[in-house]
Amino acid sequence: MIEVNDIHKSFDGTKVLKGITTCFDKGKTNLIIGQSGSGKTVLIKCLLGLITPEEGSISYNGKVYSELSGDERRDLRQEMGMVFQGSALFDSMTVEQNVMFPMDMFTKKPKSEMQDRVDFVLKRVNLVDAHKKFPAEISGGMQKRVAIARAIVMHPKYLFCDEPNSGLDPKTAILIDNLIHEITEEYNITTVINTHDMNSVMEIGKKIIFLKNGIKEWEGTNKEIFKTDNKAVTDFVYSSDLFKKVRQMYIEERN
C-alpha cells in the first residue's frame, strides 16, 4: 500500500498539487485520471521518488519516504517496476536482453538464474518465442508486453504504468489491461496507472482517483463512477455521446 498525506507541489510559483490525500491499495489496479494539466504526471513522479513534494508525506507499506536513508531509498526504488508510455525498450537489445537489463544493473545473480527469470516472465506475458527478436521486429502490443515483463522481472512490490494503452488498437488495449490486472492480483502488487483510457476505467478501475486542477476531486470504484453525481467526474468520463448512453442504460437498469 502507498499512503499519500496532504502533499503539495509547485513549479515556478504555480501550485500543481494542492493537498492530495489518498491511498493506493495493495493487490488492486489503482487508476489516476483527469484532464491534461490536472497533476496526474506530477503525482506519479512524486510516488516514484523523482519529485519531492514541498509539504506532506508519502509512505510505502508504512515507511515514510522522506525519513528513509539514502540506502533505504535505493532499496525501495528496486522494489518499483515501471511501464513507460512508449514502452522505452532499447532498440539495440533483443527482447530477452531488454527484460534482463534491470537484473544486470542491480543484482549479482548468476547468468543462468537471470535467464530462468527472464524465461518465466516472458512466458507469463505470453511471449514464449520472442526472446531473440528486436523491438522493431515485433508489434506495438508485443512491445508493451515486453515492457511489462521487464517491469516485473525484479519481483516489484509496486508497479507504475504511464498510459500503458497509448497507441494501441482497442482489442490489444483490452488485452494489456487484463494482463496488468491479472499480474496485480496474482502477485499482490500495488499497481498505479496513469490513464486517459475510459475503457480501462470501466474494466479494471478497482480504485479510481480523479484529479482536477491539482485537487483530488473524487475517488471510488469503476462501479461507483456510474452512480456519482459529481459533475466534474461525469463531464470528464462521459464526455462522448456513447459513454453518456452507457451510463444512462446502467442507471435505468438499476431503477
Within a 13 Å sphere around the CA of 200, how many CA atoms are in the beta-carbon half? Answer: 29
Is 167 part of any domain?
Answer: yes
Three-state SS for 12? coil
Is 121 part of any domain?
Answer: yes
Residue the block writes with cell 515483463: 149
CATH code assigned at 189: 3.40.50.300
Q: How many C-beta atoms surround the C-beta of residue 1 within 10 A? A: 16
Residue the block writes with cell 506519479: 44
Is 137 part of any domain?
Answer: yes
Task: Determine phi and psi for 58, rounding to 5 degrees.
Answer: -130, 130
Predicted confidence at residue 30, as pLDDT, reads 96
For residue 5, what pLDDT band results from cuts at 50, 70 and 90?
very high
**Host domain of residue 31:** 2-221
Three-state SS for 58? strand
Q: What is the mean pLDDT of the chain?
A: 90
Is 120 part of any domain?
Answer: yes
* Furthest CA-CA distance within the chain: 61
Three-state SS for 38? coil
64 and 39 in contact (C-beta within 8 Å)?
no
Is 127 part of any domain?
Answer: yes
87 and 144 in contact (C-beta within 8 Å)?
yes
CA end-to-end span of the chain, whole Å?
36
- Strand 29-33, strand 190-194: pairing: parallel
61-116 pLDDT per residue, tens: 999 999 999 999 999 999 999 998 888 899 999 999 999 999 998 888 999 999 99
Number of domains in the chain: 1
Cell of residue 223, nine digits: 462501479
Is 232 part of any domain?
Answer: no
- The pTM is what? 0.89
Work out the average pLDDT over 150-158. 94
